[in-house]
Each structure stands twice: as structure tokens, then as C-alpha cells.
Amino acid sequence: MKSIAYILVSNFRKWGIGHVFGIPGRPLASLIMELDKQDINFILSKHESGAGYEAAGYSLMNKKLGVAIVTSGPGGTNLLTAAGQAKAYHVPVLFITGQQSMHNAGKAIGQDSTIFGTDLVKMFEPVTKFSARVERADQFKIYLQHALEKAYWGVKGPVHLSIPMDILDEQIEEFELNLPNNRTQLISSRLDEFINKLNNAKKPVILAGKGIHSSLAYEEVKSLAENWNIPVMTTPGGKGTFIENHPLSLGALGLGGTERSSTYIKKDIDLMIVIGSKLSDMSLVGISSDNYPREVIQLDYDATFIEKSLFVPTLPIIGDIKENLQLVLDKAGARIRKKYNLLEENYEFEDNVNENGPYISAAHAMEIIRKELPDDAIVFGDDGSHSFYAIRYFNIRKPGTFFFDDIFGAMGHAIGYSIGAQLSSYNSRIICLTGDGCTFMHGNEISTAANYNIPVTFIILNNGRLDMPEKAMIQFFGKTVGTTYNVPLDIKKLGEAMGVKSYKCSNQFELKEALEISNLHNEAIIIEVVVDPYEIPPTMKRG
């Protein structure tokens, strides 16, 4: 017989989990002690949402399970945003919240998370795939098994268990569970129709979405494009799923998209192949009823949003993207053409751009960052203008090296995601691209990278304001209210206060020098890029 805390941690070890993220609290004490006994690193985060973001980044990078543990009451409510973000990214994360002892249920107790206080189980239901409270020790095994199955089957996502402190200490028969890894692949019955439409299309285009990251279908999408000679554009969240130095790449469509994609979409498209995208409003900027494609093929595991945004005849291909594309390619056989439609080269700034004064252009900064970083550097884009500059100007040279969420969009999440990802794959070159607004929200999490020698490079664009809301207010109302920081954040000083080597860059030479130092990849580094507060970001086409 072993305690539930012991059994849970021993299963973590079996699953190859080396790091668990969280903030201590009395209800979790025995679980944290057990992590220490079994040599699993407990990473002390600075905020519960930061712990959740780190666990999600850890899961996204190692393709296994991320774990975040926080205490009851406000510890759990602080974690909710991270759960919503993990659900948007489709990453399997186990969120564990503590709870006071079950024998005290119904009494007035501090930080109560039952129905008599802040009912965390109900709160987590909309932002997870499964949320339950383990109220008896004999429930634990089956509840944990349910949670793992929900996290991995179908569209992956986060799950939540509330475990009271007395339940953690109860002893039951020891058991081991396997992470689900051979889920049934859902194959569409309409692949022959798919192939027929591909063969007959006169002017098709592929719109690649974030689901390609989840299914790891990079090679299949590339083969689909090459075999049928189809240009490829990506949604904002699909940035990084298709290399942009490929002759068939049009770059991004939608918010932050390229002029090439915006122009191409107006050229009487007869077939759009949408792969792994909900087609959010950010993805469809530039598309209206005037230039709808005549037909759509939409590949997704979830049919919820098919034909909800583009009101044209749509062939749904429901199931696993990678498996269905592999079958399409196998059925069609080798039909690679010798020549692609050659598209215009991506525009790049010249190194001798004249930028006098205290600022650097954000667009030019992205070009410099791209040139200085290795092709396999993995960028986590936070939510703000900074990432849309990257969507426009930071060219992808290797698939799976850029992650951005255009659905939930929690500011500051990329800071934690990059930390978790770096711990999961320590030798990878992980970059966090964020802004001063995001840093105000969750910048203290950078201290976690310093405390544990996690060598993330944090590139922070600073223009002293919330850029997207400000520029949108000016566009629609002629003025802005509540978007400018009267006392701007001195990010270099903040970093130094946290023990992080920090650089302030206001021209291309300072930025290049800082990036060269960061490429040594031996410690956490902050690169503050002071950008023009009046530069118009590539986000102004959204209605």
C-alpha cells in the first residue's frame, strides 16, 4: 500500500516527466515532498498562471504531459487563464489543485474550493476537457485514468483534478498507468472526393492552420502542395507550419499577413484547402463575400467551426490531419511536377537602413532578428503587435519553429511557454518574443528562468504602450484612452533586478551585438528593443 501522493509521483516518473511547475500551499505539501523524494524537479513559478503556461510549454515541446500544481481557492482561480490557453493550443496538461481535507467539507474553511466556497471543479469545466474532484481514495485511479484519456483522445487538451490534502495522504494499492499513445486515428470516408477536387482545381490555395502543429503534419502538407503545385498561405496561428523560403509560400494571410497573400486571395480562387484552422476573424482578414473561394475543403479533427465563417460549399475531411493527408498522397501516387509556380521573393530591409534617433523600426528589428538567429531557433510569440510584426517579417526556414495563438490570446503566456519548452528540450534554442505590455503582466516569470538557469532569450519590444488597442482606437475614434504608460517600463533594469543579463537596444548595431551574445545560449538573456511608438503595426485591416 502506498499513499496517493507517492503513486501519482511514481507515475510521473514512469511517464518521463522531469519537471513539475507550481507554487506551494498547505494542501499540496505532501505532494511536493514526494516530488523531492522521487527526484522530480519542482519548479517554483512566480504566479499560478505562469506555472500553467510553463507546464503547457513543457508539454508542447516534449509531446508528453505537462503538470502544474497549485493550492486551493485563489491558487486555482489564478490557474484558469493558463488552462484556457492550453485548451486553445491543444496541449495535454494535468492541472492539479489542492483542497482542504474532505472531512472539513461544509465547514467555513479558508480557501475552500468545494461547492461551499470557490467551486474550482465547475470553474475549470469550460477551459478543460475534464474536471473532477477526488472525494474518496478509491476514486483516484479511475479518475486519473479518465483524465489522461480525455487529455489525449481526439483533440488533445488540458484536464483538471482537485485532490484534497487528506486524500493525497491516504494509502491504496499501488498501480501504474500508461499515457494513451495509440489512439484510434479517425479516417475520413471522403478522401476520393478530396483527390478529385484537387485534380480538377484550376486556381487552388492551401490555408495552413495551427492544427498542423498539433498533428505534426509538416511533411504531408509540403508534399500536398508540391504534388499538386498549390501555393500555401498560413493563418496567424499557422505561422511556422510551412517554410517561407519555399517557392510555393505566400506567407501569412489575415492579421499581420503579407501583401502577396492578400493579393493572391483576390484572384478568383476556385478551391481553398483549409488545414487545421477554425477560421477565426484574425485568419480571415482580407477575405469577404466579394472574394470568397468557390469551394472549400476543410481538414480538422473537430467539425464545430466548419462552414461557420466561409459560407461556401465545403467538403469536410474529419479526422487526424496527418493520417488523412498520408492516405490522400498514397491514393494519388507520385505526381510531382517538375516546376512550381515561382512566387515573388519576400521583401527584406537593407542593413543600411537609416534609422536615426532613439528608436528602431519594429519591422526592421524582425528582419535583423531573423538574420541573426539560427534556422532551427524556436520562437514563442506572445499576443500583441510584436508577434504580428514577426508574422509579416520573420521568415520561417524550418517547420515547427514558430508558435502563436490567434484564438485565446492571453498576454504574457509566451514567457511561461518558452521557459517550459526550454526545460523540456534543454539544448534547443528557445526564443520568447514579447512586448512591454505582456511583460508588465507576467514579466516576473523571467525570474524563474534565472533561478533555474534556463537559457531562454527574451526579446522584448518596448514602445511604452499597448500598441494594438492604441492604434485601433486612433483609427476608429480619432483618439486613444488608457493605452499609454505614463511611466514606461525600463525592461533592462527590471531584468537586472531579477539577476538576468539584459541589453537595451535602440539601433540595429546594438541589436545585432546582443543577439550574437544570446546565441552562446548559456544563460537567460533579456534583449529590450526600443521601437518607434508611432510605427503603424500590420494589424490595421481588422474590422
What stretches in the chain show pLDDT beneath 70? Answer: 101-112, 114-117, 182-184, 334-357, 542-543
Amino acid present at 209: G
53: in domain: yes
Do 9 and 142 lie in a common domain?
yes
- Per-residue exposure over 324-358, b if at least 16 CB sit within 10 Å of its own CB, e if not: bbbbbbeebeeeeeeeeeebeebeebeeeeebeee
Give residue 351's pLDDT: 41
184: in domain: no
Give residue 181's pLDDT: 76
Do 30 and 147 lie in a common domain?
yes
Residue finishing a domain among 144, 172, 200: 172
Do 148 and 274 lie in a common domain?
no
- Which residue, 412, 373, 414, is CA-closest to 396? 373
Q: Are strands 457-462 and 525-530 parallel, antiparallel or unpaired?
A: parallel
> What is the Cα–Cα distance from 268 to 310, expressed in whole angstroms?
15
Stated pTM of the model: 0.93
Give residue 540's pLDDT: 78
- Which residue, 150, 7, 29, is CA-closest to 98? 29
Give residue 353's pLDDT: 44
Burial of 290 (0-12, 13-18, 19+ CB in 10 A): exposed
pLDDT in tens, 110-141: 566 766 568 999 999 999 999 999 999 999 99
441: in domain: yes
Please state, as a whole number, how many other Cβ atoms lie within 10 Å of the Cβ of residue 196. 12
Strands (E), 425-539: 430-435, 457-462, 501-505, 525-530
User: Considering its fold, how many domains does the chain have in total?
Assistant: 3
Give residue 116's pLDDT: 59
Give me the domain span that covers residue 251. Answer: 191-332
Give residue 285's pLDDT: 84
The dihedral over CA atoms of 483, 489, 494, 495, expressed in degrees to the nearest 10, equals 80
> What is the Cα–Cα distance from 22 to 54, expressed in whole angstroms?
9
Do 383 and 313 lie in a common domain?
no
Do 143 and 262 lie in a common domain?
no
